[in-house]
């Protein structure tokens, strides 16, 4: 059980058993490996550790049947607002519904906590992620110019009304 309550644990995705559980410091080696192959400017171990200890952060991993970390999500929940920080799935496990599952559970979690809004920034060139977010009803509400300094890309700011 998380410090914030539980998400829907033990769901089945495709034919594999996947559990969503709290992220632990002992997961960081696997998380950092996924992070490095997923993002041009990967988070550091220090940043993950700081996020784990921040009282308003919610941090979950998707764990496969073998115990391996298949992906993760980090977001803040402050008052009535959620803010997605990071979502990544191991390349071998992409396009199997895991990102959909963990994002759906994160949104359900926010609704259970009476959050009214969920915000995120996404690289304007990350069309796969943008499609995922739009599928959930996120709307483009703004742009942050050259937000991603390592690639000089803009970020699209997206918002979901959680309906609370």
Using the predicted structure, report yes or no on whether residue 2 has a pLDDT greater than 50. Answer: no
Q: Which domains does the chain have, with CATH numbers?
A: 12-118 (3.40.630.30)
CA distances for 148 relative to 86, 91, 97, angstroms: 14, 22, 27
User: Strand 117-123 and strand 81-89: pairing?
Assistant: parallel
Using the predicted structure, report yes or no on whether residue 6 has a pLDDT greater than 90. Answer: no
DSSP 163: -
What is the reported pLDDT for 20? 93
Using the predicted structure, report yes or no on whether residue 28 has a pLDDT greater than 90. Answer: yes
Other residues' Cβ atoms within 10 Å of the Cβ of residue 90:
20
Mean model confidence pLDDT for the chain? 89
Q: pLDDT band at 40, cuts 50/70/90?
A: confident
What value, to the nearest 5°, has the Cα angle with vertex 118 and ends 105 and 89?
50
3-state helix, strand, coil in the chain (%, to 5): 30, 40, 30
Q: What is the pLDDT of residues 135-153, one digit of tens each?
A: 999 999 999 999 988 888 9
Q: What is the pLDDT of residues 55-114, one digit of tens each?
A: 999 999 999 999 999 999 999 999 999 999 999 999 999 999 999 999 999 999 999 999
């Amino acid at each position: 059980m998380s410090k914030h309550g539980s998400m829907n644990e033990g769901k089945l995705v495709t034919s594999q058993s996947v559990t969503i559980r709290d992220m632990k410091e002992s997961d960081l080696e696997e998380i950092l490996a996924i992070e490095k192959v997923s993002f041009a400017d990967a988070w550091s171990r220090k940043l993950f550790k700081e996020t784990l200890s921040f009282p308003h952060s919610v941090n979950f991993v998707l764990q496969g049947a073998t115990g391996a970390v298949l992906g993760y999500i980090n977001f803040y929940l402050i008052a009535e607002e959620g803010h997605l920080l990071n979502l990544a799935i191991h390349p071998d496990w992409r396009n199997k519904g895991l990102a959909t599952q963990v994002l759906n559970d994160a949104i359900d979690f926010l609704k259970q906590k009476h959050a009214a809004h969920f915000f995120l920034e996404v690289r304007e060139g990350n069309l796969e992620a943008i499609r995922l977010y739009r599928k959930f009803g996120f709307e483009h509400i703004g742009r942050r110019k050259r937000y991603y300094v390592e690639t000089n890309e803009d970020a699209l700011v997206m918002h979901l009304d959680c309906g609370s």
